[in-house]
Structure 1
Amino acid sequence: MTGKRTTSEEGRHLHAQDLRVFQGVQAWVFDLDNTLYPAETDLFSQINEQISSYVARLLSIGKKEAQVQQKAYYRQYGTTLRGLMLEHKINPDDFLKHAHDIDYSTVKPNPALGTSISALPGKKYIFTNGDKPHAERTAAALGISDHFEDIFDIVAADLIPKPSRETYDMFLKQTGVSPVRAAMFEDLQRNLDVPRKLGMRTVLIVPSGTRDVFREDWDLEGGDLKGGQKSSVDFVTDDLTGFLKAVNGALKPL
């Protein structure tokens, strides 16, 4: 792809000509945390605090030690929950309830995002390593609940988190989504590796104002890392609403 860049609104993304790769997409799959709402909302920091307090209480250790152990489980098992299940046989329902006992008032309604999601052709899904009640409360706070066909959560995934290939296979089987006719939006690159291999268009959501930093590592128009290594990321944006608006514009009939 060879699209030029502009200084207009689309200049924060690729030129609309490149966005035509989304033609034929019939399923739009969105991660939840730090994707449908911006990272600066700081909602996920509350979840991290709740998880740390759960680990501290369970293992009878201090907060700082609990944070270290929490991160170790996350790195080894994909989620702290899975680590605690495998090593301590915890009740996942208790963990999920505690982890998501947070204040959602920091999540503000985003009608522009809702309009952009609604305008996308086909079905839309939330695919999260969190649980469904958390996703429902977050989507409600954003004012976008009515735009989604379904929510595929960690419980539906048999508590096996992304980026496990098995989890994506379960999502595709349950929803009937064809990966070659799907696009996935994520804030973690490692969670886009499998979708890219399956044929999905992939979009990495980065914190506001950091897109230019990521441009140093990705050739956005070819999806290549420096040195010729293939990236799992087709597009990078720090503005999901604006990106979807540009996609919708690119999909309009000429």
Structure 2
Amino acid sequence: MHANPTWLFDLDNTLHDASPHIFPHINRSMRAYIERHLGLEREAANRLRQDYWMRYGATLLGLIRHHDIDPAHFLWETHQFPDLKRMLAFHQPTLNALRRLPGRKLIFSNAPRHYAEAVLTLTGLAPIFDAVYTIESTRFQPKPSLEGFRALLAAERLDPKCCIMVEDTLDNLRPAKRLGMKTVWVSASSRSAPCVDVKIRHVTALPARYGRL
């Protein structure tokens, strides 16, 4: 690994825990959006949301492909939070752990920019990151699409062999590994996978495991 790597960090369920409050709220918002704009009943809207997520890696891609939905409108409407600060589950020691890591740090998230920047500001993470790449940055080609990775690498003029991808989603680490990056899987799972170089339960373990990368 390069003496000073570039770190690519996912956001949701990697740097904070989105599962208790944020993801359920987004799922409800997406279902409601599909009900409103496609005129579907609740159960049908939920099935469609999950079906597109399974088939394309993002509900949005199915809506663009099959229903001509405006992606910017969809992302704005489905990522509105009554009280984001209260909904965040963030572990404060994460800040010190990230500061101890050498090299530049970028956010690489499938979330929309307005939401990602709000999370980074509210958690205090914003000053740690040199750039934020969201779904808009990749022209709505979310991970695990290779196009999204290539867009980021080109924009930052990065050699993938000098990058470390930190993610909670195994499917998103496979393209990173294919491109030559080192990979860190943030997971409590007992599984192992050939695309994973290091597995940790929480990003606070990164400084101690950095030598393995």
- The normalised TM-score by structure 2 is 0.91
CA distance in 2, matches of 1:161, 1:40: 20
Report how far residue 43 of structure 1 moved: 1.4
Match of 2:111 in 1: 130
CA distance in 2, matches of 1:177, 1:42: 35
Q: Residues 22-171 of structure 1: matches in 2 within 5 Å?
A: 24-102=3-81, 103-104=83-84, 105-108=86-89, 110-171=91-152
- Count of residues in correspondence between the two structures: 210
Conserved? CA contact 1:108–1:141, under 8 Å: no
CA distance in 2, matches of 1:188, 1:112: 22
Q: State which of 191, 208, 213 in structure 2 corresponds to 1:246.
A: 208
Conserved? CA contact 2:18–2:88, under 8 Å: no
Q: State which of 178, 181, 184 in structure 2 corresponds to 1:203.
A: 184
Report how far residue 150 of structure 1 moved: 0.5
Report how far residue 81 of structure 1 moved: 0.9
Match of 1:236 in 2: 199
Q: Which letter maps to 1:144?
A: L
Q: Which letter maps to 1:133?
A: H
CA distance in 1, matches of 2:4, 2:176: 14
Report how far residue 25 of structure 1 moved: 4.7
Report how far residue 31 of structure 1 moved: 0.6
Report how far residue 151 of structure 1 moved: 0.6
Report how far residue 146 of structure 1 moved: 0.4
Give the secondary-structure state (helix, strand or coil) at the position aligned to 2:139. Answer: coil
Query: 1:120-178 CA deviation, whole Å, 9 max, x = no partner?
Result: 11110110111111111111121111000111111110111111111111110011222
Match of 1:228 in 2: none
**What's the Cα RMSD here?**
1.8
CA distance in 1, matches of 2:90, 2:54: 33
Q: Which letter maps to 1:164?
A: S
CA distance in 2, matches of 1:236, 1:246: 12
| Cα distance change of structure 1 residues 149 and 143 upon mapping to structure 2, 3 Å threshold | same
CA distance in 1, matches of 2:206, 2:111: 24
Conserved? CA contact 1:81–1:92, under 8 Å: yes
Conserved? CA contact 1:30–1:125, under 8 Å: yes
5+ residue gaps, structure 2? none
5+ residue gaps, structure 1? 1-21, 219-224, 226-230
Report how far residue 108 of structure 1 moved: 4.8
Q: Which letter maps to 2:167?
A: E
Q: Residues 214-233 of structure 1: matches in 2 within 5 Å?
A: 214-215=189-190, 217-218=191-192, 225=193, 231-233=194-196
CA distance in 2, matches of 1:235, 1:112: 20
CA distance in 2, matches of 1:156, 1:239: 27
Q: Which letter maps to 1:245?
A: P
CA distance in 2, matches of 1:28, 1:189: 17
CA distance in 2, matches of 1:32, 1:109: 11
Conserved? CA contact 1:25–1:182, under 8 Å: no
Conserved? CA contact 2:18–2:89, under 8 Å: no
Query: Quick one: percent identity of the two aligned structures?
Result: 30
CA distance in 1, matches of 2:164, 2:56: 26
Query: 1:57-110 CA deviation, whole Å, 9 max, x = no partner?
Result: 112112222111001111222211111111111111110111110231221554
- The normalised TM-score by structure 1 is 0.77
CA distance in 2, matches of 1:54, 1:176: 37
CA distance in 1, matches of 2:89, 2:174: 30
